[in-house]
Structure 1
Amino acid sequence: MGMDPWLPFGFRVGQGDSSQSLELAGANWQIIRLKSKDRCLLVKRDLLSKWQDDGLVEDGIFFELENTSHEIWYALSSWDRTLCSVQDGKVVKSKSVAAAFAVALKETRQLGSQFGFQDAIYFERISRLLPTYTVSERASDEDVLGRWLTGGVHISASAVRRMDQAMAWLNEREIRQVLAYAGIAPSEVLPGTSPSDIELTTNEVVASEAAISSDVTRARLDTFELPGRPQLAAFFNEHVIDIVRNQERYRAVGIDFPSAMILHGPPGCGKTFAVHKLIDFLGWPSFEIDASSVASPYIHETSKKVAQVFTAAIEKSPSVLVIDEMEAFLADRDMGSGHHRVEEVAEFLRRIPEAIENNVLIIAMTNRIDLIDPAIQRRGRFDHIIEVDFANAEEITSLLKNLLKSLPTADDVNVELLADELSGRPLSDVSFVVREAARLTAREALPLIDHAMLMSALRVVPARDREGGKRKHKIGFI
């Protein structure tokens, strides 16, 4: 079939990235390359629904694209993780890549015996083979693994001798290990293999499989979560947590530490809450630069205090340095802010790269990104500029469910209806409504928080008037 891209060149995808080229396509899916060299999986709603119904993908993996003529959902994959069609035949020839594919095959198979993987999409980031449910004849798991490892040759992976002859980059013992990762038993024993060799190989396989399984489980359980902000949480997991967790793998390709980032958006959109949750998750010492802590009317004094905070953060690294209300320090120098302001900007320009090199995660926040000096926004200082807008109904629904799950609630609570009422408000309003409803329930000596109490709490915080009561830009995390 023809490969007509669903998205035009330069279409915005994810956190400030954009589409560059189409790599692979099927009837209901496409894999595209982004300008950052990362890849992106695009799927139509009906295919995604099948994956969700079959329990193959969890919430927070796919997000809906806005401003498209079709209902398209996307999931991001970093450039160093495999995202391809099983039929593509382009395999990076290394034992670790083979083992990762085998683990994904086994874990996906454990979710159901009805799936056929001959037409699947291999998504290494979530350790899944995602079937596309075509009508092509189903192949066995042994054939799928054999074809993928050999780059398209129709060999059953369980035929160890033939596999060993077809591949120069995996030896017989490594092939058996990969089979064990996939939960596939070999169908033959090579001549000259002694019982002790088989026992040794089996022990190695068990130990290696346990280590890989542990790594996958830990990665899934030890995931940063941000109720009501799944896309922002996904960004932190991809660009901060994964780099910190797998430092050796990233250092091998020249990435030593997460890049600095700017979060911008209106007051009350949840920037500060998100940053504090991330700091708590990392467990690192944190330092803050804001107007109340470093601003001074004396010449050179502000620059001196800024330098002291950077030095303290470097000495305690790994650490987090938060620059709050960055427009107070880093406004555009062309706007005529005076010599002292130029000096402050220059101090930041000098210290930010130094801090990153010394394992300091820098997160800046602002309500006015339009005022920030362009030199500060240049990649190399802040690689990621992320817009955090007010939450939409779907995000508020997620937050409400998270806040209410530990509280006694009545069956009549309609979270979706309440979320519609709260859509477009600061996340602090959402938390307040739940707390106020709990207070009203306790005051009335009632055993459960019901929908009427939540609506009563909602009336305490009337909707804020913004631009005549109508929003003029999109709601949600971009």
Structure 2
Amino acid sequence: MLLENWLPIGFVLPGGAACGRVLHGGADWQIIATDHGTALLTAATLARRWHTADIVTDEQIELVTFGGAEYGMIKCASGAVLAPLWRCSTPDGQKEALALARALQSTRACDITVSLHDALYVAQIERLLPVYGPDSQEDGLVLGRWLSGGVSIDVASIDRLCGLSSWLTPKDVEEIIEVAGLAASGQARRMHRSANDGIDAQRREQYVKEGTALKSCSTNHGASKYVTPFVLAGRPRLAAFFNEHIIDIVANQERYRLLGIDSPSAVILHGPPGCGKTFAVEELVTYLDWPCFEIDASSVASPYIHETSRKVAEVFDKAMNSAPSVLVIDEMEAFLADRAAAGSSSHYRVEEVAEFLRRIPEAIKNGVLIIGMTNRPDMIDPAILRRGRFDHIIEVDYASAEEVEGLLLHLLEPLPKDETVHPVALASSLARRPLSDVTFVVREGARLAARAGESCLRQQHLLDALALCPSRVEAAVERKIGFT
């Protein structure tokens, strides 16, 4: 689901940093990009709860006011880890693992009861900040899942954990357990000795297989975090394409490099407005967790001679300097229209296209994933579309009823609802419509339920919301103005 910024993009935070887009978010918190790094914004109630428990101090969390609402804020410098624990990449070595173990221990010194399975890791203040979700997990399982790259395993299973993580030794795990305040109990140590002395060959072979499978996803850039496949709600075929042509290459770089493939090819997504191109790209960027750079009319277009080409070159340079990174070219037809159709009066357009022709292959070789988006592929210069620059041109049409059903299930999953809610009945009415209509129906249905004083969502709320969201054809008929 696309996350709506609590603070406007460009809003200046205390200290001078400007807000960017939301990277991760929950009901009471958002992690946003800033031009100085990242920042955690929280609802005032959540910030007070941390403060009351002494998990954060007055010096660590600031107050931000906007539109009459108050938010807590923790700023993090560029490069400092700030992410939900379940989205953090597995550690590259003992130093990173011990840093998180210290954060867990520091939080536990303040609150010994709250579950940290859905906590936010703020490396700069060395804390795991709980968000007080309904589920719970023991700390040993929380730590084991992170060390193993997502496998449900307790740190007490020392040998198996070592088999799943190539850099870990039993001594490493014991040190991490001790630093985290989870000093291995006598029972855990007995499990360790038994695993070393009496484990049968079949189980040992299985551990090796699991470790090999996960280690194959490990790269210099921490690609072991890509063990879980990328999922795109409502777009399984597009998700399958991303998994095969992008994520598998990123997660298994050494294997692909042996066969001459250094990085994923550039991709163009084309389709009508509202079909979900931007949503798909944002979800992919969030999954990869790479720096993202954008080229669009608002950022680089200029009426001055050579200025647009200069700005385009600057964005490409920034993306290459930050590689691995993603470079998104939105509304491609605005920059890369066919030079033959431009005429002699548009020689500056020819210069801009030439700049892209030169830069795209260079950026791909330097580890930049380039994704273009357009509604009009027929307008783009043929030299841009040829293989070697953009190898894949993918059509993204409006979602079918089956795809809408998948998105509805995804959007409705975290919401309280009764047994009357039936996404299949809504999917046929929302098929072939912009995905924003699907999001609107769920959000508006939830609003209608809350306004009626209900504690859960019902099918009638969704149907009422659907009635408030006519299709474009219906809306055109209703809003038609004529004269007699």
TM-score by length of 1: 0.54
Provide the C-alpha distance between the structure 2 equivalents of 1:417 and 1:202, rounded to a whole number of angstroms.
49
Q: Which residue of 2 aligns with 1:464?
A: 472
Work out the number of aligned pairs and report it. Answer: 271
Q: Which residue of 2 aligns with 1:332?
A: 338
Residues 411 and 200 (structure 1 numbering): CA distance in 2 closer, same or farther, change over 3 Å?
closer
Q: Structure 1 residue 278: deviation in Å?
A: 0.5
Where do residues 152-301 of structure 1 align in structure 2 (5 Å cutoff)? 205=205, 208-212=208-212, 214=214, 222-301=228-307
Q: Structure 1 residue 235: deviation in Å?
A: 0.5
Q: Structure 1 residue 468: deviation in Å?
A: 9.6
Provide the C-alpha distance between the structure 1 equivalents of 2:422 and 2:370, rounded to a whole number of angstroms.
40
Deviations 1:193-217 (A, max 9, x none): xxxxxx9998984653242354599
Q: Structure 1 residue 392: deviation in Å?
A: 0.6
Deviations 1:143-196 (A, max 9, x none): xxxxxxxxxxxxxxxxxxxxxxxxxxxxxxxxxxxxxxxxxxxxxxxxxxxxxx
* 1:394 is aligned to 2:402: yes
Do the aligned residues in 1 keep the contact of 2:336 with 2:381 (CA within 8 Å)? yes
Deviations 1:94-128 (A, max 9, x none): xxxxxxxxxxxxxxxxxxxxxxxxxxxxxxxxxxx
Deviations 1:322-376 (A, max 9, x none): 0000000000011025100000000000000000000000000000011011110
Q: Structure 1 residue 256: deviation in Å?
A: 0.5
Letter in 2 for 1:445: G
Q: Structure 1 residue 386: deviation in Å?
A: 0.3
Residues 466 and 371 (structure 1 numbering): CA distance in 2 closer, same or farther, change over 3 Å?
farther
Provide the C-alpha distance between the structure 2 equivalents of 1:467 and 1:385, rounded to a whole number of angstroms.
32
Residues 273 and 410 (structure 1 numbering): CA distance in 2 closer, same or farther, change over 3 Å?
same
Letter in 2 for 1:250: Y
Superposed structure 1 runs of 4+ greater than 6 Å apart: 199-204, 216-220, 466-469
> What are the ranges of 5 or more consecutive residues in structure 2 without an aligned counterpart?
1-198, 218-223, 478-484
Residues 265 and 316 (structure 1 numbering): CA distance in 2 closer, same or farther, change over 3 Å?
same
Q: Pick which of 314-323 and 403-412 moved more.
A: 403-412
Q: Structure 1 residue 450: deviation in Å?
A: 1.0
Letter in 1 for 2:324: P
Do the aligned residues in 1 keep the contact of 2:267 with 2:390 (CA within 8 Å)? yes
Residues 342 and 216 (structure 1 numbering): CA distance in 2 closer, same or farther, change over 3 Å?
closer
Q: Which residue of 2 aligns with 1:406?
A: 414
Q: Which residue of 1 aligns with 2:22?
A: none
Q: Structure 1 residue 417: deviation in Å?
A: 1.2
Residues 364 and 306 (structure 1 numbering): CA distance in 2 closer, same or farther, change over 3 Å?
same
TM-score by length of 2: 0.53
SS at match of 2:230: coil
The CA RMSD measured in Å over matched residues stands at 2.5
SS at match of 1:465: helix
Letter in 1 for 2:379: L
Residues 409 and 362 (structure 1 numbering): CA distance in 2 closer, same or farther, change over 3 Å?
same
Residues 200 and 442 (structure 1 numbering): CA distance in 2 closer, same or farther, change over 3 Å?
closer
Q: Structure 1 residue 413: deviation in Å?
A: 1.7
Q: Which residue of 1 aligns with 2:436?
A: 428
Residues 200 and 403 (structure 1 numbering): CA distance in 2 closer, same or farther, change over 3 Å?
closer
SS at match of 2:309: helix
Choose the corresponding residue for 2:359, options 343, 351, 354.
Answer: 351
Provide the C-alpha distance between the structure 1 equivalents of 2:291 and 2:446, rounded to a whole number of angstroms.
34
* 1:418 is aligned to 2:426: yes
Provide the C-alpha distance between the structure 1 equivalents of 2:279 and 2:374, rounded to a whole number of angstroms.
14
Residues 448 and 207 (structure 1 numbering): CA distance in 2 closer, same or farther, change over 3 Å?
closer
Do the aligned residues in 1 keep the contact of 2:328 with 2:372 (CA within 8 Å)? yes
Residues 220 and 313 (structure 1 numbering): CA distance in 2 closer, same or farther, change over 3 Å?
closer
Q: Which residue of 2 aligns with 1:87?
A: none
* 1:383 is aligned to 2:391: yes
Q: Structure 1 residue 414: deviation in Å?
A: 2.0
Provide the C-alpha distance between the structure 2 equivalents of 1:241 and 1:344, rounded to a whole number of angstroms.
31
* 1:316 is aligned to 2:322: yes
Where do residues 68-147 of structure 1 align in structure 2 (5 Å cutoff)? none
Letter in 1 for 2:374: T
* 1:364 is aligned to 2:372: yes
Do the aligned residues in 1 keep the contact of 2:336 with 2:384 (CA within 8 Å)? yes
Residues 363 and 284 (structure 1 numbering): CA distance in 2 closer, same or farther, change over 3 Å?
same
Provide the C-alpha distance between the structure 2 equivalents of 1:467 and 1:243, rounded to a whole number of angstroms.
45
